Amino acid sequence: MGHLMQKSAHMLAIAVDLKKHKERAIRAGAIPRMLSAATIIFGIIFAVTTKSYFAASIQALIMLNIADFAGFILLKNKNQTKLYADRLTEAIMFSVMPFPWYGLVAINFMLTIMKVEAFKKVPIIPLKLVFLIYIIFTLI
Partner 1 sequence: MNTVSHALIGFAASSIIFGPEIARDNVMPIILASTAMDVDHIFYFIKHIKPVIKQAKTGHTTPNLQGIFHRVHSQLIFMLLMMVLSFFIDTTLVRIICFNVFLHMGMDALIDCYYHAFKPFSPNLLSIRIFGDKKMRIIADIISVPVLTFILWVI
Closest CA to 80 of 111, 115, 129, 106: 115
> What is the C-alpha separation between 115 and 14, in angstroms, rounded?
30
Per-residue CA distances from 89 to 45, 83, 108, 116, 134 (Å)? 10, 10, 12, 18, 18
**Sign of the alpha-carbon dihedral angle for 119, 91, 80, 60:** positive
In the complex, minimum distance from the CB of residue 65 to partner 1, in angstroms, rounded to a whole number? 18
Identity of the amino acid at 92: I
Q: Which of 1, 3, 4, 15 binds partner 1 (CB under 8 A)?
A: 15
Under the binding rule (CB under 8 A), the answer on residue 52 touching partner 1 is: yes
Residue 98 or 123 having the CB closest to partner 1: 98
Q: Which of residues 92-131 bind partner 1 (CB under 8 A)?
A: 92, 95-96, 98-99, 102-103, 105-106, 109-110, 112-113, 116-117
Q: Which of 47, 60, 61, 75 binds partner 1 (CB under 8 A)?
A: 47
Under the binding rule (CB under 8 A), the answer on residue 63 touching partner 1 is: no
Under the binding rule (CB under 8 A), the answer on residue 14 touching partner 1 is: no
Q: Which of 85, 127, 128, 131 binds partner 1 (CB under 8 A)?
A: 85
Q: Apex CA 30: angle with CA 128 and CA 81, to 5°? A: 45
